[in-house]
Amino acid sequence: METGLLSKELSVTIQAGASLGEVQKQARFLVQTDVYPKLAELDAVIQNPHKHWYRRAVDLAKAAPELAANFATLPVGLAIAKVLAKIAGVFADVRDEQVSREKQVASTDLDYLLKLKAAKFRL
């Protein structure tokens, strides 16, 4: 549920003449059932990489024989270029995943709460 819908739902409770305790209870319920789970999901997206470092190391290890053979069969400059291209590909994949996570987080209406949480820990 979007935060706009949450505020509308809470507004309906207030306009219905509910007591302060009832409004607080409704707000707590909305936060616990909708906001907290979404924040936990966003936090998991941010904290967990799509592909772990050891998987990337395995991918590089698989490419090592071919890259080593290039030094025996190709001019040294070209073999070095192939090694650098492989490493650049890994860095590009890492950055693509970061951008994807950033877009996924920014597309929600709760990303500002994560920013507040981060700012709180910097103080």
In three state form, how does the secondary structure of 93-114 look? HHHHHHHHHHHHHHCCCCHHHH
pLDDT at 123 over 60: no
Domain match, 29 and 65 both: no
Determine the Cα–Cα distance for residues 14 and 94; give it in Å rounded to an integer.
47
* 23 — pLDDT class (breaks 50, 70, 90): confident
Domain match, 26 and 69 both: no
Averaged pLDDT of the chain? 80
Give me the pLDDT at residue 4, please: 63
Predicted TM-score (pTM) above 0.75: no
Q: How far apart are the first and last CA of the chain?
A: 31
Higher pLDDT, 35 or 87: 87
Amino acid at 63: A
CA nearest 102: which of 111, 93, 90?
111
Domain match, 86 and 59 both: yes
Give me the pLDDT at residue 114, please: 66
Give me the pLDDT at residue 69, please: 94
pLDDT tens profile 33-76: 887 887 777 777 767 766 677 888 888 889 999 999 999 999 99
Domain match, 20 and 44 both: yes
Domain match, 76 and 104 both: yes
| Cβ 71 vs Cβ 79: under 8 Å | yes
**Residues of the domain holding 90:** 50-123
Domain match, 37 and 77 both: no
pLDDT at 88 over 70: yes
Residue 31 to residues 9, 46, 90: CA-CA distances in angstroms? Answer: 12, 21, 39
Number of domains into which the chain is organized: 2
